[in-house]
Structure 1
């Protein structure tokens, strides 16, 4: 099984770097264009690899009786990263599929993902308190909030034009939080041979990307409102 673990570790690293380096391309390229779509799918495939491999490695370390308490704690974090990244990426894709909906949406899988994210976030945070592990206490709050936002979106009738647009980029940017955080916590310290980093460094991706989500929302809201106003003037 250790050989299988090493295999998943390798593809996890590959998938992580693919997602890390392709994430910015859809952000800065023309939305809906060929480059945006292709880079976006490469990013999604990278995140699928990351999520599946993270889930396996986390479960393996937790169930392995030889793992240290620190390894088990980080493995729970790895499992949560898998849930957060897969849930956010799935949400970002599904809102496009149902962008024409006019009523509440109650598909079991679409509601199930955010519910798993919400309750796993609560569970991991409680576990972090019992282990006095700050990363596990505070980081799951990101997942809890995203789970609530996703459930609210599905269970309410769309009230804003282009609602799917906002939810798509917020879902994908939310997914990137897990990618960059995992790299900050695991990847960068190992590449730079740093034994430990400040807990504040773990939250830098969240601190940077959350305002980006809000900023993009404001920008596109004004952009779409401007288009509506221009059309109204022409009429």
Structure 2
């Protein structure tokens, strides 16, 4: 790699570690508290740098591997971006802005790209196609879901809060996935990429259900 690529990769790794620890801090601290908000800001900033440096590395050398990682970066960052953006649309009448439409369009495009790559790798007999197809289906599915959601008003006044939990939870699953895929070499490759999704997704749903079962006042008091 060139000096520029080495430097970009170094920044990418440092930002990834910052996001990993800050994300855990946001999960572990009281929702809506100062520590939670501070950790959340660091997490969003770290993941922003991770996504940008992934795209820079792709631009510097658009190999097949970096194409996959760039698409995954768009897919992963969307959850963080939209989870943060939903905080600006707390009222049921608040509407998505142009940046939200652009973001969901990029997500859907990344999802289709991952599905296409996965289909080609599947036909070639590559087991890693499973990872591409899972992420691609999730990206395309969430893209279609959000495009539909943007066209209607939210019926639930606390929906933004549940969306925030779900999307940030999804973003943190992506953060753990990146760490696992690089460092958990004792696992089969496909398992190293997918176990955070298998384990984390039910936990996110359980967290959302916990707050939905609580009183509206309690949920609102813990929100950002």
Q: TM-score range by the shorter chain?
A: 0.7 to 0.9
Matches within 5 A, 1:158-177: 158-177=154-173
Q: Give the root-mean-square deviation of aligned CA atoms.
A: 2.2
Indicate whether 1:48 and 2:30 are aligned: no
Report 1:70-219 matches (<5 A).
Answer: 72-102=63-93, 105-132=95-122, 133-134=128-129, 135-189=131-185, 197-219=188-210
Q: C-alpha distance in 2, partners of 1:219/1:126?
A: 37
Any stretches of 5+ residues in structure 1 without a counterpart? 63-71, 229-235
| TM-score normalised by L of structure 1 | 0.82
Aligned length: 213
1:124 shift after superposition: 1.8
Bigger CA radius of gyration: 1
Give a deviation string over 1:141-172, Cα, whole Å, max 9, x none. 22223323333332221111211101111111
CA contact (8 A) 1:106 1:154 kept: yes
Which string of whole-angstrom CA distances, capped at 9 and with x for unpartnered residues, describes residues 12-45 of structure 1?
A: 1001111111212111211111000001111111
* Normalised TM-score (structure 2): 0.86
Deviation at 1:225, TM superposition (A): 5.3
SS in 1 for 2:66: helix
Q: Tell me the SS of whatever aligns to 1:102.
A: coil
